[in-house]
A = this chain, B = another copy of it.
């Protein structure tokens, strides 16, 4: 990994993954789940902007609203006093119903920019994911969160055979140091070996977590967490706590599963067909191995509010529904 400037002043409290499925309508092309996105943005404000309430929010999206010709009037609302900064956090979001269609139709992940279809798909994918990024930045800004959209492609991040090789995070650090909240996303990027590929949000999170050592990482998804089998199956059990050991192996701590001979890998693999949970667990375990707690829970619920608040670091309450993945020395 290349990196220019590693010194930074502000400790990052949290990296939040906004799962694509949690903020878009999965089966409706390029459609945002506005209600969920608004709720999640409000929860992020409550967790990371001290003393903020829905009544005193100073919106930072000053764009014209559809159907209006004037900008909102607001400037008088900003007192000229220095304000309490928000705590440092970073948002990384997936694509959901944005980008996936364009990428899969053209095979951007497989590379080969000399093929007109792949090149066009690369352009189309970036248009789709950056338009989602803009809407998420807007939603956060409306909650008074000083959000700044940053595309991995523009940041100069690239891969070699789909593994991240170049990821200069100095601009992310600088944005944080100046009090902004970077909002990154899964993106189409250049690949030194196969010319192009898709860099997923989960891989970005792992990289940022390793470099920035946040206090904890939260994955907000459209299910409560990781189950021992597909959640729709009768008797599916939510796994509440997974322990990761030094060697990278991991095991279920809570609840005690009946069939302990059944390897967790298998149960999670079964789940993968319905939600890509194997990748999520593998990425989460790699983060937890660094000593950083990872919480996977359902977006826009009381459980996500608890995860974002950081209180789970002191222990997982019995009534918290989600999956905590933690390092066990």
**A interface, CB within 8 angstroms of B:** 28-31, 58-64, 69-71, 75, 78-83, 101-102, 105-106, 113-117, 119-124, 126-128, 130-131, 134, 137-138, 141, 146-151, 153-156, 158, 168, 170-171, 174-175, 178-180, 190, 195-196
Question: In the complex, A151→B147 CA distance in Å?
Answer: 15
Judging by beta carbons under 8 Å apart, are A30 and B101 in contact?
A: no
CB distance from A137 to the nearest CB of B (A): 6
The answer, among B29, B122, B147, B149, for a CB contact under 8 Å with A64, is B29
A117 touches B64 (CB 8 A): no
CB nearest neighbor in B for A79? B116
Least distance between A131 CB and chain B CB atoms (Å): 6
Could you list some 15 contacts between A and B, CB below 8 A?
A31-B64, A59-B120, A60-B124, A61-B123, A62-B120, A63-B128, A80-B115, A82-B114, A130-B149, A149-B154, A150-B154, A154-B155, A155-B156, A178-B190, A178-B195
Complex CA–CA separation, A206 to B199 (angstroms): 32
Asked whether, in the complex, the Cβ of A116 is within 8 Å of the Cβ of B71, the reply is no
Within 8 Å by CB of A171, from B59, B126, B156, B175, lies B156
User: For residue A140, which residue of chain B has the nearest CB?
Assistant: B123
Q: Which of B71, B127, B153 contacts A63 (CB 8 A)?
A: B127
Q: Is the CB of A63 within 8 A of B195?
A: no
Q: Out of B61, B81, B130, B195, name the residue touching A116 (CB < 8 Å).
A: B81
A114-B82, A154-B151 in contact; A146/B174 too (CB < 8 A)?
Answer: no
* A106 neighbours in B (Cβ, 8 Å): 75
Which residues of chain B are within 8 angstroms of A168 by Cβ–Cβ distance? 156
Whether B71 pairs with A29 at a CB distance below 8 angstroms is yes
